[in-house]
Amino acid sequence: MRLKNVPYLVGGGGALLVFAIPLLWALFRSVRPNDVIVAAPDSATFFHLTWANFQALIEGPGNLLRAVGNSLVVALSTAVLTAVLATLAGYGFARFRFRTAPLLFALVVVSMMIPFQAILTPLYLQLNVMRLTDSLFGLVLFYTTVNLPFGVFVMRNSFSSVPVELEDSAHVDGCGTLRMIGSVLRPLVTPGAATVALYAFLAAWTEFLGALTFLTKDELYTLPVALVNVQAGAYGEVNFGSLVAGSVIAMVPCIVLYVGLQRFYVTGLASGAVKG
């Protein structure tokens, strides 16, 4: 091993520990009883491990499995819808030339700076008029609206990095626009689309305030809202065992997706950062 590689290995190892130790510690605490978690450290009970926290979440009145299913439906639908709309809009901004294009794209970029909490009330009123409150579909539309500006920004720059000559050749061969996007350009912009989908999925999976605002029925609660309802014990006491176990369940899809799409995510962010 070369001496000049030592700083990189040390830095990489340190970064790994910074991110891995909290995850491992959360996993370890999730299999410990709540009374052991809140008690003073004791060597006699430190390694007292049990699956009671997960069993209580699954079999408890909160019906956590249904909440996990609701979150999966909402997050996956948001990811797919955001990726499709962002791809089409990004292609339009990158290839079509019209007078108001710079202004419209500037509005898209500016909307990324507005937190959704600032427009939560008008969004709620609009969804209420459309009778989409207390609806997973309405929640999907809300999350898609919030995440779409970032998706359009990434996909516009992804398409801008693709040579126009590829499209000209496809048009000469009689390829339509939609077919060209799906067959010719899709392999080249897959990293950007994967980045948009992953970003939208993680945002929808972990979001709490919007779900709490738009949903009032227990059977429609997503995982973050359900965890708030099941974490409380008697007399306002927080059940840290159930809370940590629920957090571990919530982490699993995020870790699996990020590890599986990591190479696309890094490439997509790089392609969306600058215009080619």
**50-63 pLDDT per residue, tens:** 888 888 787 766 67
Does residue 103 carry a pLDDT above 60? Answer: yes
Better pLDDT: 238 or 61 = 238
Which of the four pLDDT bands, split at 50, 70 and 90, describes residue 270?
low
Give me 6's structure tokens.
Answer: 């030592």
Does residue 234 carry a pLDDT above 80? Answer: no
Instruction: Note the pLDDT of residue 252.
Output: 86
Helices (H), the chain: 6-30, 34-38, 52-59, 64-95, 101-111, 120-129, 136-160, 164-172, 177-180, 186-206, 209-214, 223-230, 240-260, 262-273
Instruction: Note the pLDDT of residue 231.
Output: 64
Compute the chain's Rg from CA coordinates. 23
pLDDT in tens, 67-83: 899 999 999 999 999 99
Which of the four pLDDT bands, split at 50, 70 and 90, describes residue 20?
confident
Does residue 204 carry a pLDDT above 90? Answer: yes
Contact 122, 236 (CB under 8 A): no
Give the mean pLDDT of the chain: 83
Better pLDDT: 270 or 152 = 152
Does residue 159 carry a pLDDT above 60? Answer: yes
Among 62-66, 128-132, 219-223, name the one with the lowest average pLDDT: 62-66
Beta-carbon-side half-sphere exposure of residue 64 (alpha carbons within 13 Å): 22
User: Of the candidates 239, 218, 219, which has an alpha carbon nearest to the alpha carbon of residue 230?
Assistant: 239
Contact 139, 123 (CB under 8 A): no
| Residue labelled with tokens 């080249």 | 188
Which of 20-34, 142-156, 233-247 has the highest average model confidence (pLDDT)?
A: 142-156
Can you tell me the distance from the alpha carbon of 53 to that of 57, in angstroms, rounded to the nearest whole number? Answer: 6
User: Is the pTM value of this prediction over 0.75?
Assistant: yes
Instruction: Note the pLDDT of residue 272.
Output: 46
Better pLDDT: 71 or 30 = 71
Residues 6+ apart with CB under 8 A from 32: 48, 49, 50, 53, 241
Which residues, listed in sequence order, are joined to residue 202 by a DSSP beta bridge?
none
State mean pLDDT over 12-34.
84
Kindly state the DSSP code that residue 212 receives in the 8-state scheme: H
Q: Chain-centre distance of CA 192, in angstroms?
A: 15
Better pLDDT: 153 or 177 = 153
